[in-house]
Chains A and B, each alone.
Chain A
Amino acid sequence: MSESVIIVNNLTKVYPGGVLAVDHISFEVKEGEIFALLGPNGAGKSTTIGMLTTALRPTEGEAYVGGFSVTREPAKVRSIIGVVPQEFSADEDLTAWENITLIGYLYGLPRDEVKRRAEELLQMVGLYGVKDKKVETFSGGMRRRLEIAMGLINRPRVLFLDEPTLGLDVQTRAAIWEYVLKLKKDYNMTIFLTTHYLEEADSYGDRVAIIDRGRILVIGRPDELKKSVTWDTVEVEVTGPEDTIRKALSGIRQIKEFTFVDGRLVVKVSDGPLAIPQIVNALSSMGLEVRKLSMSRPTLDEVYMHYTGRSMREEFISKEEAFAMRRTLRRARS
């Protein structure tokens, strides 16, 4: 279980024209884990996936997938991976069945086997009933499910999912995730995914790498990351002079800082459950009445902000990317 199935070493991609999309990144992904690459648009996520799936040639550095070099043994890498690209890639003019069997033949699978697997996979993603319908009639969720099924036709050891839920509504996103988790369980696959949805990386990723401007800033389990850099936020509704409050809180070690927002006291603390009783006691001992209190735990956005100094934002993207993105979104929402 702990063997590394993806090893990335100083991987770098410079596009013609000098755009440094991925800047000397290194990491390892363990067999059987869900590894999430989190970052805003234009951070280098798709380029990284492109290089790991041999669609793009690295400018520098090396990566191994399942022990094969992506630059020297690309054909071997291709045969053990499944890819669900960010863009819908199915041929709109063909039916779901024609699309998935076509991909099966491209892996050199025998005809009977292709048919057997196509049937099984389409059933799994709930598209068997519409297998003879043209893909152009599919909704965004159906298309994404078809893409996932297509990515699995060769029973890959590693499944790459590039923004698997981009542009989908909340229910469909949840449904897609159900499939992904089921897959991981059923086939014991390693899943490498990119996303710019913080909550997805948080709830589904075994480990998360935060990427920004082509560099990986930090890698770790979501809870570790949150604990390492952020504070719980305690909001208190209390009436009283600010000076008194300030004095009351001065002795509590866990408090990092506090501010007054719209008449409420907002306290950042290192350990919420431990700090809350102390805050309440301190305020009460000064004769102040605590009317309401709530605590929120940090999200990955705070981790992201800690490392990048800003919230997740939209970056400049190329015309082709913008075109592809618009098309994907349009189709996803149709």
Chain B
Amino acid sequence: MSKIKTPHLHGLWALTNRELKKWYKEPVILILSLIQPILWIGIFGKAMNLANMFQGASISIPGLTIPRQIIDQIGNLVLKETFGTTDYFSFLAVGMLSFIVLFTSMSSGMTIVWDRRLGFLGKLLTTPVPRGSIIISKVLASIIKSLAQATIVLLIGVLLGLRFSFSIAMPAAFLLMYLTLFLLSFGFSSLFLMLALRSTRWETQMAIMNLLNMPLLFSSNSFYPISYMPWWLKPIALANPLTYANAITRWALIGVTPGVSIMVAFAYLVAFAMLFAALGITLSWRFLSL
């Protein structure tokens, strides 16, 4: 990588900029891509607020009236025990950060399929720009989009009632959050670009995305803690990078005790990002063609 000369970096930025222009110059797409996280965090996050089950109710069993206070206390204990916080909405809202990063990164593969179909890739391949740069530019653009989307999700979360409880100094917590999401996006963008290297049909790419998005999401700790999963799902959840990203961001932002050490979680994400980025770039040298 160190052999890349400045002119090629020029090309790299020009290509990244192209991807971004298509995104921010198209208000409709920008608005649409904002609506999705708003819907998720607003509707899903508020409606599926598991805390409601445990709080604010009093139960009357004939002959025994349990005061609301006690119910709330028990509820909070259960919540704390289960989610590591009594604030399920915040738990979910922070989990949405990795969720939006996953969804945004996934669509990176589509851009290669479209570039191929619309002839742009053919043109690119006849210019001296390194094949690796074509992939890296798409990864970079995807990361920038993901982080921008995540920021918006975070802001919406705060507006809807996300309460921070930082484990480390606030700037450090946000820095760690961005670093974590950066690594997550890096890995997933590379992975989905890799899957699209030879694809000529966007239907195939859509099918791959649809096949993987929900299982990836539900086999992670995005909605519920790993300890509540059946035994066979646990190893899958422990291999899923989303799990580690959530563990780090929840620890940093809302003080949830992580199931694994933060160092291990971070190292896992670094390895995940590096592995797929290296694979993606290597394979693109070999296989990226018309």
A, B: real partners: yes
**B126 interface hit (Cβ, 8 Å):** yes
Q: A105-B14, A320-B200 are in contact. Are A83 and B123 (CB under 8 A)?
A: yes
- Contact in complex: B125, A54 (CB < 8 Å): yes
Q: Tally B residues with Cβ within 8 Å of A.
A: 30
Closest to A83 in B: B126
Q: Which residues of B contact A54 (CB under 8 A)?
A: 125-126
- Contact in complex: B8, A89 (CB < 8 Å): no
B128's partner among A89, A98, A107 (CB-CB below 8 A) is: A107
Q: Contact mask B5-33 → A, CB, 8 Å, 1/0?
A: 11110110111001001100110000000
- What is the bound-complex CA distance between A327 and B116, given in angstroms? 13
Q: Which of A8-64 contact B (CB under 8 A)?
A: 50, 53-57
Q: A91-B18, A91-B120, A93-B25 are in contact. Are A81 and B11 (CB under 8 A)?
A: no
**B127 interface hit (Cβ, 8 Å):** yes
**A202 interface hit (Cβ, 8 Å):** no
- Contact in complex: A87, B119 (CB < 8 Å): yes
- What is the bound-complex CA distance between A323 and B119, given in angstroms? 11
Q: Which residues of A contact B290 (CB under 8 A)?
A: 50, 55-56
- What is the bound-complex CA distance between A102 and B134, given in angstroms? 13
Q: Which residues of A contact B11 (CB under 8 A)?
A: 105-108
Q: Contact mask B86-127 → A, CB, 8 Å, 1/0?
A: 000000000000000000000000000000011110111111
**B51 interface hit (Cβ, 8 Å):** no
Q: Which residues of B contact A87 (CB under 8 A)?
A: 118-119, 122
Say which size band chain A's interface belongs to: 35 or more
Q: Which of B165-215 contact A (CB under 8 A)?
A: 200
A106's partner among B25, B118, B128, B289 (CB-CB below 8 A) is: B128
- What is the bound-complex CA distance between A78 and B5, given in angstroms? 16
- Contact in complex: A323, B22 (CB < 8 Å): no
- Contact in complex: A92, B122 (CB < 8 Å): no
- What is the bound-complex CA distance between A258 and B86, given in angstroms? 101
**B270 interface hit (Cβ, 8 Å):** no
Min CB distance B205 to A, Å, is 15
**B129 interface hit (Cβ, 8 Å):** yes
- What is the bound-complex CA distance between A323 and B18, given in angstroms? 25
**A217 interface hit (Cβ, 8 Å):** no
Residues of B within 8 A of A (CB): 5-8, 10-11, 13-15, 18, 21-22, 25-26, 117-120, 122-130, 200, 289-290
List 4 extra interface pairs beyond A89-B120, A109-B7, CB under 8 A: A78-B126, A83-B123, A89-B118, A324-B117
> Can you list 16 contacts pairing A with B, beta carbon distance less than 8 Å?
A55-B126, A56-B289, A75-B130, A83-B123, A85-B123, A85-B126, A89-B122, A90-B120, A103-B127, A105-B10, A105-B11, A105-B13, A106-B124, A107-B128, A108-B7, A150-B123
The 9 A-B pairs at the shortest CB distance, nearest first, are namely A108-B7, A87-B119, A89-B123, A105-B14, A89-B119, A83-B126, A106-B127, A78-B128, A106-B129
